[in-house]
């Protein structure tokens, strides 16, 4: 196993025993993180003793829509899509549940060149694709790996691995990935759903527009039916190379309304909701038939400022907005049930760079000072502005609080609640002004996944850099920080980047998010990972293999 550059020793919840996991890959030293966040678990409905049993279909509710194309890895645009892609597809490597290690998956081992710009992977010789319309479940080869990664780099909507150059098959079971420059996060970036392995025959056969409705991968479950924005059904893959799933299948239901989501869980219509939030968390705790699991998600919530907008291009305006909003009030009102932790920085409290003293970089709450800044900027009577938000209750509640506070300094905020697809379109087309998002990369606790991405101009108009920050000198620092293998140097460089983000005032950061899953008490064998995805059947040694009693 390869150790992550920064080890995050979180209290990951494991409700089934974890066994050891071995690999031929060598380990590298890992620095101690600056902070950890404990996992909170409701134990009012303990897991009964008993052996796992085979069979059954797990019913999972997610609260974000999945359109017709979004199950194609290059179009996956958020956590809802990731939930499904991670069940039917697999990447070269995976993160361990606690985010501390890279586990071999499609790759059995790998080597890194001295200059850090070439990664060479040995590919398993027993991995078959699921049976599809245009191939019969053939063996995966290095050519498939090269095809999948090159396609993702060239066509993924969010500029997948911008420093990636190309992948090439050296022989049937060896693939080399070439980078434009060294980056310590390359292995982490490979764990993204955009990096799953797919067969070219299926993409060519269905076409780019249709493959997402008929996706084929190598994972433990196969998509058998996808009705956009309604449900997706998967069945056990009978030819899976890894651990055999206990479940016969799983179905994801799109239930955007949080009250309906909670009602479906309470009445037993669904087995799991991966989107429990707000007051519904308490309802799960109070229900003896349900179990709540919470833990750090390594994502941050913020209101971003599009600095290319004529109004928001003025730093005084951005500072005024930041000074007019009481972040603590947002957190206490929106995350009162443990689904968020106060944090005013573009890194989560779980990040190894985080230190409480850095919170002083954020502007203090000062409505009167904000009014003076607006007057200096030429807006003595304020202005009108649009705030684009997602459809979750947490987004809308936070947006409403921000709206009320900004009204006190004369800023009239129009809240527009939109679907994930609409949000993606606005980001890509640069038509947002203020926008509510949560940011980060799943299980990563490296600042490169946060402030490093946020200031990277190669990621303009994506989830990472929708504030349109561009500066060549900062780009160079982003690259140097990501490529360095000296931890002290990395800390110094990322502190500089953190200060640049706060001085520029790219957005109002207010919380580190926690994952909150609600489930029936007959659901067993799950592990609460540091990412937001609930993996149903994991690699050997992870302890992940959900079953129903």
208 vs 50, 204, 214, 233, CA distance in Å? 46, 7, 11, 21
CATH of the domain at 452: 3.10.105.10
Give the three-state DSSP class for 62: strand
Domain assignment present for 369: yes
Domain assignment present for 238: no
Domain assignment present for 504: yes
Domain assignment present for 490: yes
Q: Which residue range(s) make up the domain with 387?
A: 297-513
Half-sphere exposure of 517 (CA within 13 A, CB side): 27
- Give how many domains the chain has, as a whole number: 1
**CA-CA distance, 111 to 284, in Å (whole number)?**
46
The DSSP secondary structure of 451-508, one letter per residue, reads: HHHHT-GGGBTSSSBTT----HHHHHHHHHHHH---HHHHHHHHHHHHHHHHHHT-EE
Specify whether the CB–CB gap between 220 and 226 falls below 8 A. Answer: no
Residues ≥6 apart with Cβ < 8 Å to 494: 353, 447, 448, 451, 452, 481
pLDDT in tens, the chain (549 residues): 444 433 332 333 333 333 333 333 333 333 333 333 333 444 344 445 489 999 999 999 998 778 778 899 998 866 788 899 999 999 999 998 888 889 999 999 999 999 999 999 999 999 999 999 999 999 999 999 999 999 999 998 767 888 999 999 999 999 999 999 999 889 999 999 999 999 999 999 999 999 999 999 999 999 999 999 899 999 999 999 999 999 999 999 999 888 999 999 999 999 999 978 888 999 999 999 999 988 878 889 999 999 999 999 999 999 999 999 999 999 999 999 998 999 999 999 989 999 999 999 999 999 999 999 999 999 999 999 999 998 888 899 999 999 999 999 999 999 999 988 898 889 889 999 999 998 776 667 889 989 999 999 988 888 889 999 999 999 999 999 999 988 999 999 999 999 999 999 999 999 999 889 999 999 999 998 877 789 999 999 999 999 999
Domain assignment present for 392: yes
Domain assignment present for 286: no
Per-residue confidence (pLDDT) for residue 185, from 0 to 100 = 87
Domain assignment present for 227: no
H helices present in 360-419, as ranges: 367-376, 393-407
Per-residue confidence (pLDDT) for residue 441, from 0 to 100 = 62
Domain assignment present for 89: no
Per-residue confidence (pLDDT) for residue 367, from 0 to 100 = 98
Note the pTM of the prediction, 2 decimals: 0.80
């Amino acid at each position: 196993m390869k150790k992550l550059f920064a080890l995050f020793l979180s209290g990951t919840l494991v409700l089934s025993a974890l066994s050891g996991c071995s690999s031929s890959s060598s380990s590298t030293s890992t620095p101690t993180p600056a902070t950890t966040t404990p996992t909170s678990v409701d134990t009012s409905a303990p897991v009964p003793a008993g052996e796992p049993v085979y069979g059954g279909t797990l019913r999972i509710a997610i609260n974000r829509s999945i359109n017709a194309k979004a199950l194609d890895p290059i179009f996956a645009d958020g956590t809802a899509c990731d939930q499904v892609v991670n069940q039917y597809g697999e990447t070269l490597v995976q993160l361990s549940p606690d985010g501390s290690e890279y586990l071999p998956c499609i790759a059995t081992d790998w080597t890194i060149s001295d200059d850090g710009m070439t990664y060479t992977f040995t590919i398993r010789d027993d991995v078959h694709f699921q049976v599809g319309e245009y191939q019969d479940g053939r063996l995966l080869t290095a050519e498939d790996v090269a095809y999948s990664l090159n396609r993702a780099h060239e066509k993924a909507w969010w500029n997948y691995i911008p420093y990636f150059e190309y992948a090439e098959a050296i022989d049937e079971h060896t693939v080399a990935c070439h980078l434009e420059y060294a980056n310590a996060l390359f292995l982490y970036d490979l764990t993204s759903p955009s990096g799953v392995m797919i067969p070219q025959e299926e993409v060519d056969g269905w076409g780019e527009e249709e493959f997402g409705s008929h996706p084929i991968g190598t994972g433990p479950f196969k998509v058998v039916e996808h009705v956009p924005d309604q449900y997706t059904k998967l069945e056990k893959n009978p030819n899976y190379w890894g651990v055999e799933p206990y479940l016969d299948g799983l179905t994801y239901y799109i239930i955007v309304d949080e009250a309906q989501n909670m009602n479906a869980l309470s009445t037993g219509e669904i087995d799991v909701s991966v989107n429990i939030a707000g007051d519904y968390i308490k309802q799960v705790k109070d229900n003896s038939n349900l179990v709540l699991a919470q833990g750090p998600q390594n994502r941050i919530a913020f209101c971003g400022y599009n600095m290319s907008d004529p109004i928001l291009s003025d730093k005084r305006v951005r500072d005024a907005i930041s000074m007019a909003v009481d972040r603590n009030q947002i957190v206490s009102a929106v995350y009162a049930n443990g689904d968020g932790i106060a944090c005013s920085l573009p890194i989560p409290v779980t990040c190894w760079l985080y230190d409480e003293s850095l919170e002083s970089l954020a502007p203090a709450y000062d409505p009167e000072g904000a009014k003076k800044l607006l007057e200096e900027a030429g807006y003595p009577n304020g202005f009108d502005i649009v705030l684009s938000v997602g459809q979750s209750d947490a987004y809308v509640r936070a947006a409403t609080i921000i709206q009320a506070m900004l009204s006190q300094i004369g800023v009239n905020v129009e809240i527009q609640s939109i679907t994930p697809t609409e949000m993606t379109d606005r980001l890509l087309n640069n038509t947002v002004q203020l926008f509510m998002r949560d940011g980060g990369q799943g299980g990563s606790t490296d600042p490169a996944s946060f402030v490093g991405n946020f200031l990277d101009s190669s990621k303009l108009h994506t989830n990472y850099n929708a504030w349109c920050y561009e500066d060549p000198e900062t780009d160079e620092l982003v690259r140097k920080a990501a490529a360095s293998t000296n931890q002290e140097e990395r800390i110094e460089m990322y502190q500089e980047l953190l200060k640049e983000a706060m001085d520029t005032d790219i957005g109002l950061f207010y919380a580190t998010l926690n994952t909150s899953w609600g489930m029936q008490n007959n659901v067993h064998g799950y592990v609460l990972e540091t990412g937001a995805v609930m993996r149903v059947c994991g690699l050997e040694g992870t302890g992940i293999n959900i079953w129903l009693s």
